[in-house]
Amino acid sequence: MTTFIEILGSGFTAFFSYKAYVILPAFMLILAFAARMKASDALRSAIQIGAGFAGIFVVFTFFVSQISPAIDSIIKVRGLDYPVLDIGWPPLAAITWSASLTPLAIALAMLVNLAMLATRMTRNLYVDLWNYWHFAFLGVMIQGATGSVFLGIASVVLITVYTIKCAEWSAPHVLRETGLDGIAVSPLSVAGLLPYAVCIDWLFDRVPGLRRLSWNPSRKRNIGGDASGSASGGSASGGSADAANANGESSREKTAAIPAAESLLGEPMVIGFLVGAFLAFLAGYGIRELLEMAVNIAAVMFLLPRCGGLIGEGMGAVSRAVKELVERKFPSFTGLSIAMDTGFLMTNPSVIATGLILMPISLALAFILPGNRVIPVGDLPNLISIMSLTVLILRGNVIRAVLAALPVLATFLWFSSSLSPVFTREALKAGMDVGASGREITAFTDGGNQLRFWLYHLFQGNPYAIAALPLAAALVFFAWKAHRASMRKAV
């Protein structure tokens, strides 16, 4: 048994040594061939997906190179000193891949998805292999805390089932807001917020005054045709976006004209310029450095939708082919969705606007929040991805999305601070040089993930975590009911 686990571990280590933008296109190419796509179409779609994700990696690397020095300068200029370092999510993934439990956890998560499909517990194919590390990481944490392999594996199964169902429930929101049919949002850190987002949207609808407040940069894509959205709303989806609008599902109402100021602020480039200039000002930059940073961040926000459009176009073609094959072979199995990372959502102006606005808000919260011990640096750009599905659920309304994000950001700070000893211990066990001069490490968003924090304490028998069980169950039940209602309405 030990030899088998070692062989499996070596295989997974070799496989995942490739970049995500190589692994995913390769897997999607295999899936495209299995769906009987033409070789030329399959290859084109795989290259589009790979090029899109590689582009996003390149753009985000440049983004981090611009924003990290500014945040470091803000901390230095204002004499701030926080004992925990936010080094971003990659070290957490590295901890996961170095753990002995991971090969078994990844294989088990794959089997869980296949079993759920076979038993009709889900209609979601979770092909985002790279983000399986989220499932294994919880198991590694719980095994480290309890010493029990069984509890570690049990937590992997539980979080896998939850994430796959949330991914499945995300597909109607993706269709309504992007026009992409049969595509779902995969990462635990993104899809896991779905029950909360559904409930907060329901609450906002019942607050007088607030329910009428709306700012939706995405709605101009329904007026005159926005070229930047054509990849996700046109060739990738056929006429499904129009169908969603015909059913009255979208909040991006058609209007005769949009005020010039609102139209300007609806451009991610403009928001990027303003946020970049604001952060540079806080960092004490001179006028030349301020303008350079502002323009660089604007360029990042221009390029992201183009990369996302490639992913949406490639994924749309493969998704349609897979759905047609499955529904032809199994006529009763309709509504299949394929879970993907959030790169395809980078075409949505509301998603990008929300993420950018939340960055300075996160810094402000970090400075004033009692009990916080970390300044978000490494994981700060990840907010665009983390909040993307929540923005879709809130129908592209940036005002609602920012308000909904406030408790999410606060808990990110508290929970990532609280779990920093755990992450530091696991990093040292994995032989990683944290390079932190004895300081603890964490990751602002993935390290502060609310579900992982709760399950980590629940599996250790924490009474507060146990007391939260009814609330968690109620949130999931409400999300399930909302999904069922939306599916009946679509039919």
CB-CB contact of 92 with 131 (8 Å)? no
Joined together, the tokens standing for residue 288 give 């030349």
* pLDDT confidence of residue 382: 87
Give pLDDT, residue 25. 85
CB contact at 8 A, 392 and 443: no
CA distance 310 to 181: 16
Residues contacting residue 420 through CB under 8 Å, at least 6 positions apart:
84, 373, 374, 440, 441, 442, 447
Q: Under 8 Å CB-to-CB from 437, ≥6 apart: which residues?
A: none
Q: What is the pLDDT of residue 264?
A: 66
Distance separating alpha carbons of residues 72 and 295, to the nearest angstrom: 20
Query: pLDDT (tens digit, 9 = 90+) per residue, 95-148?
Result: 887 788 888 898 899 899 999 998 989 999 898 877 888 999 999 999 999 999
Note the pLDDT tens digit of each residue in 44-76: 998 988 888 888 888 878 887 887 788 788 878
Segments of the chain with pLDDT less than 50: 222-257, 436
Contact 283, 70 (CB under 8 A): yes
User: Does the predicted TM-score (pTM) go above 0.95?
Assistant: no
282 Cβ contact partners less than 8 Å away, ≥ 6 residues apart? 70, 74, 77, 360, 363
Tokens matching residue 491: 């039919």
Return the C-alpha torsion angle 343, 346, 350, 356, nearest 10.
90
d(CA 159, CA 174): 22
pLDDT at 122: 93
Can you give the pLDDT at residue 263? 61
Q: Which long-range contacts (CB under 8 A, 24 or more apart) does 240-245 make?
A: 240/175, 240/179, 240/180, 240/181, 241/175, 241/178, 241/179, 242/179, 244/175, 244/176, 244/179
**255: alpha, beta or left, given left = phi > 0 and alpha = psi -120 to 50?**
beta
